[in-house]
A and B are shown apart, each in its own frame.
Chain A
Amino acid sequence: MLAQLLVSGIAQGAIYALVALAMTVIYRATTVVNFGHGDLLMAGAFSVYVFVVLLGIPYLVAAGLGLLLLFVFGYLVQRQLIQPMLDGPHLALAMMAIAVGFALRGIARIYWGREVLPFPRIFPADVYVLGDVVVTSGNLIVTGVALTLMLVLFAVFYLSPVGKLAQAVFQSARGAALVGINVPRFYSIAWGVGAAMAALGGILIAPMTFLYPDMSVWILIRGFAAMTLGGFGSLHGAVVGGLLLGVMELLLGAYVSSSLIEITSYLVIILVLLFRPAGLFGQRQVVRV
């Protein structure tokens, strides 16, 4: 029982980790928290759905197209809508991301209303049994992708020249601009990458959770909880936070009450921010007066 819960929890947590990783990339690169991330994920999943089911494009091509589409969308949103807000109050930034996401949800709802759609799966729905622990191929693939992505992002942020760039821009956008880095362009690309990662998350998550225009709220809160728990801006924090959150949800659900599954992430956010705002691995950036 416990072993099964742990395994399932990790598989569930891998989804959250994937979401939190994409949000962390945008945060690390631009110091902006994307409140519309859940909707980007939904948009990515829906665009792949349209490509595969309605247009009959082969799955892998469709997935590639979906990622590309979301990259361009994220790039353009940052460039046209977020960049002009950067000098304004933080509220304007948050509002802009929320409004863009909300508009996406509206567009999805025009066509799909309150439908819940099954999402085509690329991988066979195999089930593996190890002792009394059951694992599905979906679990394995999502966990694998989350971990791989974390390693790739580690390499990008810590080993490649792009990482140095990101570090410079994160620490001081003005300083980075002074030494010749094209900061707005860097921001736009980071949003593009973040949006493409959201699409990837959507493609992987939708086969397990179904596809519906309102999936974004659920996803966004879980992503925030994973980021908060792991520490804002930390890549491994996002992954560890996501996995822990998944395990916690299932343990609380199984041993205390199944209605707690829904609010585990809210409680995590509130308790962590109250008692340890830096999370597990984050740097303490909270300003005191």
Chain B
Amino acid sequence: MTDGRVSTALPGRGRRMLADRRWLYVLPLLALAIPFFVNDYIQYIVNLTLIYILVGVGFNVLIGNLGQLAFANAAFFGLGAYTTGILMYHLNLPFWLALLPGGIVAAIAGAIISLPALRGIRLFYLAIVTLAFGELLRWTYIHVESLTLGSMGLHVPRPSVFGYDLTSEAGKFVVFLVVVVVALQATANLLRSRVGRAFMAIKNNEHAAASVGVPTSLYFVLAFAWSGLVVGLGGGLYAAHVRLVAPEAFNLMALIMHFAIVMVGGLGNLAGGVIGAIIVTGTPELVRAWPGMLELFLAIPIIVILMFLPKGLVSLLCRPLPMLQESYHRP
């Protein structure tokens, strides 16, 4: 496997400069200019994109980097959203205090969901059991009405950060951007550390990894929990952004959308999750008026990508922009 090690033959000086990942820090700074150019509706979609960046990046850790068929992503997203939403609604916690618990609860759920994997359940079996877990949670949201208000959903109060109410979309954008940058940097560090290399070893050959002393069980739990944490934070942002947390938002449709984000962007590449989110997030808004189109607009790109570009759109961008390439060791 050549994951992330597509060598750039004869790296010229300019090319080596472009491979410097620090260039990417320019992107959030550029993004800060967005609120000056767009109206509130577009800004709302942009904020949603930030949320789905977390969803895509977190999901990618499990299915891309660890290479497991774990289909519980909508469940992590929902747990994050419900935890943050419940803390804000029932306990009147401010948003900034309620966000992290959302991530933590989803991380714990991730660790629990990794139990079947530790029992040796892999491949399709793991997919089915995680799918069942997600649906079970959705049933729970509907039936634990005292906390979740059932299928009508939870109306989350206005988010506030350190006493300031986030009344404008632009204000939310800045806060969300900070959360996303921190989560992405942490995920990038994790994936480029010993842990990330262990994930890659497990993906390529689990038995071989175990036989050279990689504690595979530990890394399974870690990957599931980390994925849960990042996606759960996304869920927390979702609760504050959309301010309606209802079970329908975390069904299989949501899961397919998460899949589309990862597949279209690029499986197993951090930037892939980001690119996928940027492309896919707006789709439901664009096709809202035509029933059935959302399904087609999610399914057909997945099919085309699987057939012709298995590493996603990011693999097209890696050549002109080598800083997007995943490199797991220092060159």
Contact = CB atoms under 8 A, between A and B. Distances in A.
Interface in A107-122: 107-111, 113-114
B120 A95 contact: no
A33 interface: yes
Contacts of B296: 103, 106-107, 110
A114 B210 contact: no
Nearest to B303: A99
Given A91-B63, A106-B299, A96 B128 contact: no
Contacts of A269: 128-129, 132
Contact of B210 (A108, A259, A277, A289): A289
A100 B302 CA distance: 9
Contacts of B63: 91
A82 to B, nearest CB: 10
A289 to B, nearest CB: 5
Contact of B291 (A35, A109, A266): A109
Contacts of A286: 119-122, 125
Contacts of B132: 221, 224-225, 265-266, 269-270
A98 interface: yes
Contacts of B18: none
Interface in B205-228: 206-207, 210, 216
Contacts of A289: 120, 206-207, 210, 216
A217 B252 contact: yes
Contact of B307 (A84, A110, A259, A267): A84
Contacts of A232: 125
A81 interface: yes
A277 B295 contact: no
Nearest to A88: B310
A85 interface: yes
Given A90-B69, A91-B267, A109-B291, A274 B119 contact: yes
Interface string A27-52: 00000010100000000000000000
Contacts of B136: 263, 266-267, 270
A102 interface: yes
Nearest to B300: A103
A289 B310 CA distance: 28
B224 to A, nearest CB: 15
Contact of A106 (B207, B210, B295): B295
A85 B129 CA distance: 23
B250 interface: no
Interface of A: 33, 35, 81, 84-85, 88-92, 94-96, 98-100, 102-103, 105-111, 113-114, 213, 217, 221, 224-225, 228, 232, 259, 262-263, 265-267, 269-270, 273-274, 277, 286-289
8 contacts: A84-B307, A100-B303, A105-B295, A263-B136, A266-B136, A273-B128, A286-B125, A289-B120
